[in-house]
Structure 1
Amino acid sequence: VCSSNKAMSIVEENPTAAVPSPLVRRGTSVNFDEGQTQDDCTECKRSLTVVVIGASGDLAKKKTFPALLALFDQGLLPSSLSIVGFARSKFTQSEFHAKIQPFLKGDEDVVAKFLSHVHYFSGAYNDVESFGNLAQELEVREANSSLLSAANRMFYLAIPPSIFADVIQGIDAKARAVNDGWTRLIVEKPFGRDTDSFHELNNVVAKHFNEHEIFRIDHYLGKELVQNLMILRFGNRIFEPLWNSNHVQSVTISFKEPFGVEGRAGYFDNFGIIRDVMQNHLLQILCLVGMECPASWAADDIRDEKVKVLKCIRDVDMDDVVVGQYGASADGTKKGYLEDPDVPSDSKTPTFAMAVFHIDNARWHNVPFMMKCGKALNERKAEVRIQFRHAPPPLFPGLARNELVISVQPDEAVYVKLMTKQPGLGMKLDQKELDFSYKHNFDEKTPEAYERLIYEVTRGEHSLFVRGDELDYAWQIFTPFLEKLEKGKKKCFTRPLAVWQR
């Protein structure tokens, strides 16, 4: 099921490998960006109000509030802090605390202290006056601080895109920071479902907020190993000279989940696995693997290089696309996708997809970038697998290829597959792994993606967020072949659950 219908011809070329810029200084341990506590950070000494719009929803409860707690526990948020949950539900403050507290893990005293900063405000998303009333409450809380002239406001939109317009208009009209404070807007995916809907959504946001005020979250950019891709490439000279079509046979970017769409089938059926995972998470990884070395660590330098990659991706050949749905398990204990009560019985929405992409530039000429993602598969895993070309003859014909594997989840690791001689009197070769596992090399706890991303918003740092033109080019790549899929130009296979879980 997962094989392409079209044989891929890999043609060797001779692009000149780019010489990396000196992004990383000399030394065994270099700290470019150490987290600053509230005692030594000028920005952290300002008053900060975080408003979580959609505070009663799953995203806010499971991701946003736990991330804020982690930053609070590490002293990375100002002591003059207010966190306000905004939603339509009518809760008292104690009732709201009771709803989010089960998701707040850690020392009981720390959680209690954190909750003393958390408040709740009930209002209508489509009522500008609700945001006016919210602003009055924020001003009262900020007035308790002697730093009113520098009161910053962060708005986290944990809501569906269908209500963005009203909320953004209300924030802009009534609830922006006063005096010298900044206002920053965190926007969650999905950023549309095709080029036209993205433009419509982006125009609404751009009408009320400048690009430097907007932080579009793709939480994969907050994952430790994804952040480490640039360090791996440009901070280790052994890799960059090989990072081109002279030496690389293929690149595979995979995302696998062992569970189905339980609890979110209604949302999922409207978007599918390609829009949910491939067009954003996996495409961002492709950009980091494929891009040239940026001029600096500045956010726009990095994002400029990602845009260059997107502009070079050729149209997807439908012969290089495979889509499918998981069926029921053989024993009937697990239902298939179409048996979910929230999924139409004739749905063609894929739960599995594989597609081959090509970056048409000198570095990556004719190297296939394969992206695979799916639900109800055999394991939870996200990884990048870079397969190198065979060693040249005549000494080692038929040997397995070297591979560089970056494991993003569940275990963060980088390992290299190498050929080696087995101990003994004969000349027997075997493939072994040089394994760099995070859990065996670092004592520090790896921050959760949302923790890192919210921290970067407090700093005004955009490099881990998606710029508007990135999304525009991403949708220009995906919209044509999504339209072909939805017009039935590619059959969506259905296979029993056991087949997908091999």
Structure 2
Amino acid sequence: MSFTADRLLLFGATGDLSQRMLLPSLCALDADELIDDDLKIVATARSEMSDTEFRNFAREALEKFLPKDRRGGMAHFLNRLTYQQLDATTLEGYDELARKVGEPKNGLAIFLSTAPSLFGPTIKGLQHAGLDGPNVRMCLEKPLGTDLGTSCEINDAVAAAFPEDRIFRIDHYLGKETVQNLLALRFANVLFEPIWNSNYIEHVQITVAETVGLEGRVAFYDDAGALRDMVQNHMLQLLALVAMEPPTSFDSTAVRDEKVKVLRALRQVTRGETVTGQYRAGAISGKSVPGYDEELGKDSDTETFVAIKGHVDNWRWKGVPFYLRTGKRLPERVTEIVVQFRCVPHSIFAGKGATMQPNRLVIGIQPEENITLSLMAKVPGLDREGIRLRQVPLDIAMPDAFSGAVRRIAYERLLLDLIEGDQTLFVRRDEVEAQWHWIDAIREEWTAEDLKPKTYTAGTWGPSAAIALAERDGVSWHDE
């Protein structure tokens, strides 16, 4: 059912995500007049607050996390906010919450940013209060389970009240401009799509590197680890966008149909195709940092780094390895996709002493949004001692290319899509379950091998075994 919601209900409204992302994103949308004046935002959490106290809380979050040049009309936004205290684990309080929400003219969008253990009780409470009707949408923030079984339990609980076309599973990476530009790069340029296959591409690298450690996520991260925290969602979504077939159109069904085909075509990882690591004390940007066990306060076998050699077994990608790498306490914060093309089949310049290097496409997602294509060019000169060729980068810095455009928080796009009902950049249930199927098989392989994380020094690019994982195939990670 298509409608633009005029009520937005935020669960977990006093949490870290709300302060850093949700409230700033909504305020920015309000300042740009991208949400209707009649949109009412109802916030709820365990803390006891009045409307005025929550508005003051929201103001402090906006002053801390929203850039000054995007705070125009903050008072107007704060006046949209109301607050209702709620213990989500009991039915008591949901009727009062429903009264606070009121009767929407068009529809209600709910954003559920709570612990997964609260999803079931929250759904029951919403049903009890009648907040599950045909004009209600539900948005779920990760983590959506810890394996396929728990993910199915969560999805079943939500599906008991909401059909799939009203469930919005969020992955904030899909809200990033450069991630969306990957689709434009592939499907809006005749230059790339004809060569976007195993005939011309040698391998693909996807790196999500963080310099931070636990950052207050001690309990969650030690239960999850790098594989479930990063690979299961963000990295597999990036892989699916790189590898998907051209959809028939840019709508939610067509795009997500093609992504799920890729995820189902992932070959099960075998022995020797993964490396895990855990950081020890070292230095980041010249500053000493403790090891994972020191931050955690106990010994742990949780991986803070993982590298995987994956394959997509279909016609387009047969024989092309996808190298995935993510970790904490690495030398720099970077998320990027590297598409390494094959060498030309014959060099006419070899007899003149020239050496060739294959073309490479680098798509930077964060912290810098850019696209770099390396091409071979002749070094100027009279060539008396032979021809020299050198790689020349063609750089497209997205902020420079679109200098007049506003640089937005990823959640701005996703929250606006939720309000308006566009599911294209949200994750469907069969995608989530295909991701978990692959991840669970990796964890089973680790258990069978009794694989323990190798140590690496904070400030390095992970265990040396991760370098060897690629070098066995004659491949170097892009940072080297």
Q: Do both share a fold (TM > 0.5)?
A: yes
Matching residue within 323, 326, 330 for 2:279: 326
Amino acid at match of 1:170: G
Q: Which residue of 2 is the match for residue 100 of structure 1?
A: 58
Contact 2:146 2:224 in 1 (8 A): yes
Matching residue within 174, 178, 188 for 1:221: 174
Cα distance in 2 for residues equivalent to 1:67 and 1:306? 27
- How many pairs align? 447
* Aligned pairs (5 A) from 1:61-460: 61-104=19-62, 105=66, 106=68, 110-139=73-102, 142=103, 150-176=105-131, 182-329=135-282, 333-340=288-295, 342=296, 344-345=298-299, 347-396=300-349, 398-426=355-383, 427-442=387-402, 443-460=404-421
Cα distance in 2 for residues equivalent to 1:288 and 1:403? 18
Amino acid at match of 1:480: A
Contact 2:148 2:433 in 1 (8 A): yes
Cα distance in 2 for residues equivalent to 1:231 and 1:287? 15
Amino acid at match of 1:66: P
Cα distance in 2 for residues equivalent to 1:454 and 1:292? 27
Contact 1:352 1:373 in 2 (8 A): yes
Cα distance in 1 for residues equivalent to 2:140 and 2:39? 21
Contact 2:31 2:72 in 1 (8 A): no
**Structure 2 runs not aligned, ≥5 long:** 463-478
1:467 aligns with 2:467: no
Contact 2:209 2:332 in 1 (8 A): yes
Amino acid at match of 1:136: R
1:481 shift after superposition? 1.0
1:234 shift after superposition? 1.2
In the superposition, relative to structure 1, how do residues 396 and 404 fare at CA in structure 2: closer, same or farther (>3 Å)? farther
Cα distance in 2 for residues equivalent to 1:352 and 1:336? 13
Contact 2:44 2:85 in 1 (8 A): yes
Q: Which deviates more from structure 2 when the two are superposed, residues 81-90 or residues 484-493? A: 484-493
Question: Could you give the per-residue CA deviations for residues 53-91 of structure 1, whole angstroms, max 9, x where no partner exists?
Answer: 111110111111111111111112121121111011111
Contact 1:418 1:433 in 2 (8 A): yes
1:200 shift after superposition? 1.1
| SS state at 1:466 partner | coil
In the superposition, relative to structure 1, how do residues 394 and 50 fare at CA in structure 2: closer, same or farther (>3 Å)? closer
What is the identity percentage for the equivalent residue pairs of Structure 1 and Structure 2? Answer: 38
Contact 1:151 1:177 in 2 (8 A): no
**Structure 1 runs not aligned, ≥5 long:** 1-41, 143-147
TM-score, length-scaled by structure 1: 0.85
Contact 1:172 1:209 in 2 (8 A): no
Amino acid at match of 1:63: M
Question: Could you give the per-residue CA deviations for residues 132-171 of structure 1, whole angstroms, max 9, x where no partner exists?
Answer: 11111222xx5xxxxx5x2421111111101110111111
1:94 shift after superposition? 2.5
1:262 shift after superposition? 2.1
1:98 shift after superposition? 2.4
Cα distance in 1 for residues equivalent to 2:29 and 2:12? 20
Cα distance in 2 for residues equivalent to 1:43 and 1:215? 14
Contact 1:318 1:490 in 2 (8 A): no
In the superposition, relative to structure 1, how do residues 396 and 255 fare at CA in structure 2: closer, same or farther (>3 Å)? farther
In the superposition, relative to structure 1, how do residues 125 and 405 fare at CA in structure 2: closer, same or farther (>3 Å)? same
1:343 shift after superposition? 5.1
Amino acid at match of 1:164: F
1:393 shift after superposition? 2.3
Cα distance in 2 for residues equivalent to 1:332 and 1:441? 35
| SS state at 1:193 partner | coil
Cα distance in 2 for residues equivalent to 1:247 and 1:413? 23
| SS state at 2:140 partner | strand
Contact 1:266 1:343 in 2 (8 A): no
In the superposition, relative to structure 1, how do residues 291 and 108 fare at CA in structure 2: closer, same or farther (>3 Å)? closer
TM-score, length-scaled by structure 2: 0.89
| SS state at 1:164 partner | helix
1:396 shift after superposition? 4.7
Cα RMSD for the two superposed structures? 2.0
Cα distance in 1 for residues equivalent to 2:261 and 2:10? 34
Q: Which residue of 2 is the match for residue 491 of structure 1?
A: 452
Cα distance in 2 for residues equivalent to 1:401 and 1:78? 50
Q: Which deviates more from structure 2 when the two are superposed, residues 451-460 or residues 484-493? A: 484-493
| SS state at 1:318 partner | coil
